[in-house]
Structure 1
Amino acid sequence: MDVDPAVLEPIADRAWPARERSALGGWRLNAAEGWSMRTNACWPLGEPDREIETAIDAAEAWFQARGLPPRFKLTDGATMPEDLPQRLSRRGYADGKKTLVMIGPALGRSDPEVTLSAAPDPSFEAVFKASAGGNVDDARERLETLARIPSPARFARLVVGGQPAALGACAVEGEWAGVFGMRTTSEHRRKGLARRVLGALLAEAALLGARRAYLQVEASNGPAIALYERDGFAAGYAYRYWVR
């Protein structure tokens, strides 16, 4: 699907804001606790404000000063030094998991059983933590990031049998809606709940002015990709994290 990473990546960066942020010209530096890769990586989205090797040195020093391993998020089609992968490789970096950015229409359907709010409430946080696989630090960092999503943001919670069962969130900027934090409790998976949450979020995003939506999904996650494809999403581009 036709989408320019030079347009969408800065929007996606603002939609999922790290606790601490800096820049080296067109390179964005994000740091938090070290769990979510997007909020703990250097995003080269343009030319740096200094010589490339010096910029890499500065990025590495910035992360090391915060007790974090240097990590670079290289996006297909983004404006960056063409030989940056080769330069990182010579320093011992290698590319890791591939993530797809999927693009679709901001079209959905409201659902009377999906509760929408402008901020995550305690029940939203409880479901998020319960679906984190026991990693409370990872869940806490992501919840803190969700709480920093700039307005307008919406948080969706689907209740089944009186108990929250699935949730998700979206950030809206201009015509774009970003979908984040999709979670379903283990006992309610494969029941179509995530699709209902997504539909409610997209319907709300459309009311807020969005026409297109994006989300990130690991390229190896076939079931999630199939879910999103059924709702009109298609792969727009991909990115990979380079780590030592």
Structure 2
Amino acid sequence: MTVDPRQLEIIADRAWPARQSGALGGWRLNASDGWSLRINACWPLGEPGRPIDEAIDAAEAFYAAHGLPVRFKLSDGAVVPANLSEHLRARGYRPTHGTLMMVGEASGMIAGAADLAVVLSDSPDPAFEAVLAASAGGNAADARERLDALARIPPPARFARLDLDGQVAALGASAIDGEWVGIFGMRTLPSHRRRGLASRVLAALLHEARLLGARRAYLQVEADNAPAIALYSGLGFVPAYGYRYWVVE
């Protein structure tokens, strides 16, 4: 599948909205509470409209004003200007948190009828929120930021949960934007892992997305998360490109 990284990055940015945003020409400045990296980073997806070091200064000032560390999200094939990493490195920034963007044909993956055991809604219900919050490892601020971001996904959004024995066992969410559907918030309770539940949740989200006109799907997974990469590869996703966050060490 041919993918334009810059186009998909713009779609992915819309799908997981920050609480506050700004712009430096084509650079997108996202700020929330500092936990989820995507909504607390600068996405340099176009010319900043000023000399590059002045643009970096302005981005640093934006995050300082919001009381957040400055981060730059540099995606392969989408960074403008292309030599931004050289300027960042000269200022003491280093890459971290390598992530893969994986894509596939939504209409061709996990074919079949809807899974009636998976409950779909257009907003996260209390049971969905409780499981997602629990997956944050006791960090209430992190959980709240992610739940707030999920609630800001533009419509049509879908939230899926799969219950077993009266308990939420797995969940996930999707953001649909034209022909693309993005998959977010995939979680399976530890006691229910390795039972194919994530695949069922994903299948339900993709089935619904196809009904809403999506034909291609994307998701983001940490580059060192081999089990997740293997799972999604087995379901038809392939790596499209990678990205890293550049931070001051």
Match of 1:39 in 2: 39
Give the superposition deviation at 1:82: 2.3
Match of 1:26 in 2: 26
Give the superposition deviation at 1:79: 4.2
Q: CA RMSD in A?
A: 0.9
Q: Deviations over 1:144-186 (max 9, x none)?
A: 0000000000000000111111100000010000000001112
1:11 maps onto 2:11 in alignment? yes
Distance 1:77 1:86 in 2: 15
Match of 1:236 in 2: 240
Distance 1:174 1:166 in 2: 26
Match of 2:203 in 1: 199
Distance 1:134 1:155 in 2: 22
Q: How many residues align?
A: 244
Which residue type is aligned with residue 62 of structure 2? W
Q: What TM-score, normalized by structure 2, do the two folds share?
A: 0.96
Match of 1:106 in 2: 106
Match of 2:158 in 1: 154
1:21-100 equivalent positions in 2, closer than 5 A? 21-100=21-100
Distance 1:78 1:35 in 2: 23
Give the superposition deviation at 1:215: 0.3
Q: Deviations over 1:67-119 (max 9, x none)?
A: 00000000100141122111101111000021000001214442111000000
- Do the aligned partners of 1:26 and 1:47 also contact (CA within 8 Å) in 2? yes
Q: Deviations over 1:35-88 (max 9, x none)?
A: 000000000001102111110000000001110000000010014112211110
Distance 1:186 1:86 in 2: 42
After superposing the two structures, state which structure 1 stretch, 208-217 or 72-81, moved more.
72-81
Distance 1:3 1:41 in 2: 23
- Do the aligned partners of 1:74 and 1:240 also contact (CA within 8 Å) in 2? yes
1:209 maps onto 2:213 in alignment? yes
Distance 1:135 1:182 in 2: 18
Distance 2:6 2:145 in 1: 27
Query: SS in structure 1 opposite 2:183?
Result: strand
Match of 1:135 in 2: 139
Structure 2 unaligned blocks of 5 or more: none
Distance 2:6 2:168 in 1: 37
Give the alignment partner of residue 121 of structure 2, picking from 117, 120, 142.
117
Give the alignment partner of residue 145 of structure 1, picking from 142, 149, 158.
149
Query: SS in structure 2 opposite 1:70?
Result: coil
Distance 2:9 2:81 in 1: 16
- Do the aligned partners of 1:131 and 1:186 also contact (CA within 8 Å) in 2? no
Query: SS in structure 2 opposite 1:82?
Result: coil
Query: SS in structure 1 opposite 2:170?
Result: strand
Distance 2:98 2:2 in 1: 19
Which residue type is aligned with residue 174 of structure 2? C
Query: SS in structure 1 opposite 2:47?
Result: coil
Query: SS in structure 2 opposite 1:143?
Result: helix
Q: What TM-score, normalized by structure 1, do the two folds share?
A: 0.98
Distance 1:147 1:223 in 2: 28
Query: SS in structure 2 opposite 1:132?
Result: coil
